[in-house]
Structure 1
Amino acid sequence: MSDQFDEDRASVREWTDVLARIRFGTVKVAGRNIAGSRIKLVAARLADYADSDGSRVRPGLPRIAVDCEIDYSSAKRAVQYLTKVGLLRLVRAGARPGHADEYQLAIPVSLLDRDDLTVWSPAKHAMEVERVREATRGRYKRQPQSPDPGDLQGQEAPADKADNKDLQVPDEPAEPADTDRPAGASCTDITPPAGASCTDLQVHEAPATDHRPRHNYDRPTDEDLRTAATGPRAHEADENPTISPLPALCEHGLSSRRRADGTPSCALCRRDVAAKPLAPVIPIRSAS
């Protein structure tokens, strides 16, 4: 029994590859039907909790139910069916309530001989994948690729002579070589662009510049100098100005300043002053 158990052990990679090729269909477990897709969902989640060699699978049924968003009874029936077909081997049962059972991922030798499930070959599995791919390939139409704006800017369209008759400049006969010309370039030496005339190249003359000396009206007069010398000057700022200390606080934690009428600015202090009786008035007798 121990040799058979060691022979059926499978790693997570081997187990999930075989699981993908199994067709469970809809099976009945404990009197209730369970879909093959739900069985695969539970099995894939169990493999996530296993070590790389397929050992120590013990997440617990409540955790599997919550992870797969199914009820507890569905998770329990899925684990029971995986154990029944030999894909899970019970290693150790929970010792007491609150402790989960421990399983080992396995691939039984008799898996291909079972009549209640179908195991596809790798070639059959690849063929079905290609069939689904071909069925969905015609649904999507490839969008034409829009040209890059940068490529359009770099390309220059050839000039159409038929459409640009108005912009063409008639050729003029060349002047003889012995014709006397003044020094410097003239207007006829410049080939005007399409649509431009000789008058467009003329430079308008700027107004003449006045080079006569200007009078300096910004010089101060004698009266201004006299006023500046005898006028009052601003007091220079003290290098070490004295900072007046902040007023002390009263017994109530407020400012101890006084108002214009001489009473404290603190309302509580004014209340205490009003509550105190006035000093008796002593009459002063005049000397007779």
Structure 2
Amino acid sequence: MKAPPAHSTVHQPDGAANRTRDEEERRFLFDWERMVLAARFSSTTKLVAFTLRTFADRDGTRVRPGIARLAVLSELSYASVKRARQELVRVGLLELVRRGNRRKGHADEYRLIIADDVIERLEWLSPGEIDAAADAITEARQAAEAARLRTARAKPDQGSQATPDEDQGSHPAPDEASAPSIPDPPATSDQGSADDRDASIRAHTRPGSGLTDDPPPTQVTTPQQRPHQDHLPAQPPDRTHAAAARQRATDRARAVAACGLCDAHGYVGPQLCDHDPGAADRARRGRAAVLAALARRKSPEVIPDAS
């Protein structure tokens, strides 16, 4: 078993013994970490192992964090940490030094070790196997990226080819060409402002009128091409709610634009602005009144002297 290096008893020149011991300690911890990385542990066991490593001294001793503390630091459950620590002891990478005192709140003390038969106890990857596995992952990633680029280049070429249906749809039908044109309706207040009309045209969110000669949704129509409001059927309730929602959004946008307190999104820092300059003063006065009322309630009552 490869344990942490012990103190040397051979006389050496000044500072040489300390340098040798430091090098041995660093080498031991380096070997221990490489062994944990190469082992085919679960990610939970490796996380607990390296969390235990942070509690060890430079020579790998005095590892004594409790299971509850390890669970908090590694963000794992108590049972998962306990199983991972038992796995490290079983394979020969961790050794129990002394039991703790549960009554006094002392945890068990462990030390990091590399057992002589650790290679036979666990499954691990050699440096050559690690390099081969990493190369395989890199090649698979490069192949997936190349396939994605080929697919992205092929999509514009497919979209540029016009289908026969699209070519036929570019010419008006005889009935449509001979049909009389409907005069443009006069602009009314129900059409909304110019900003609302432009937004609905760009977003293609204009609700259909219910008529059979409505243009397909892929064609952009201006408000002047719509039939007169008197010719439209009664709007269903869902469209009425949609119009009300659009009106609320428009009113909010106008309030944000006219407000000098909030930003372009209607926020003052992390809070939503109510566009009321006196709201902050009223809130401060209300908070002061509440604190004063609480202070009066907490003050002890004066009991009059019976004598």
TM-score (norm. length: structure 2):
0.37
Q: Rg larger in 1 or in 2?
A: 1
* Greater helix share, structure number: 2
